[in-house]
Amino acid sequence: MCGVTGFIDIRQNKKSYDSKKIIENMTDTLKSRGPDDKGIWIDKKNNIFFGHRRLSIIDLSHLGKQPMISHNKRLVIIFNGEIYNFLDLKKDLLKENINFIGNSDTEVLIEAVSNWGIKKTLSKISGMFSFVIWDKKKKNLYLARDRLGIKPLYYSFFNGIFFFGSQ
């Protein structure tokens, strides 16, 4: 069990709050979901902020650290859950000359989205999951969870700020 959280501020006016401190506090509230590691990612230009708490299960090394950026630097992901068929997906991606630096299902997931797109990837993956992806090029934010809703993903839009999190 990991924890994901974040927000995107779509207001055009200047902010009067410490966004880094807010995402750090939001991330710290998820400590019980991921005691092994934590990370934040900030894109001040687009006012988007990701936080992640990690419970290391599949890849115990630092190579599974999140938020994770795709190899082409286009996508950023925060992920909670397990992709059951990630080894099969990894084999398919290796056939397409995609190389991996670690052994996490998160890396396979973000590289799948990077190469196949969000819709095709969602049709191929099997597991229990919730994740958030920011596409830096298209400036799109994707939120997804497994078909049965085993892994929670909550969101709210309030005063021009879109908040999301796993609890």
Residues with catalytic annotation? Answer: 2
Report in angstroms the alpha-carbon separations of 34 from 29, 41, 46, 65, 166. 10, 17, 27, 12, 11
Residue labelled with tokens 């501020």: 9
The sheet that has 68-69: what strands, in order across it? 68-69, 75-83, 127-135, 140-145
- Give which of 110, 156, 154 is closest to 134, Cα–Cα: 110
Report in angstroms the alpha-carbon separations of 92 from 99, 112, 117, 118, 133. 11, 9, 14, 16, 21
- Give which of 122, 71, 127, 65 is closest to 94, Cα–Cα: 71
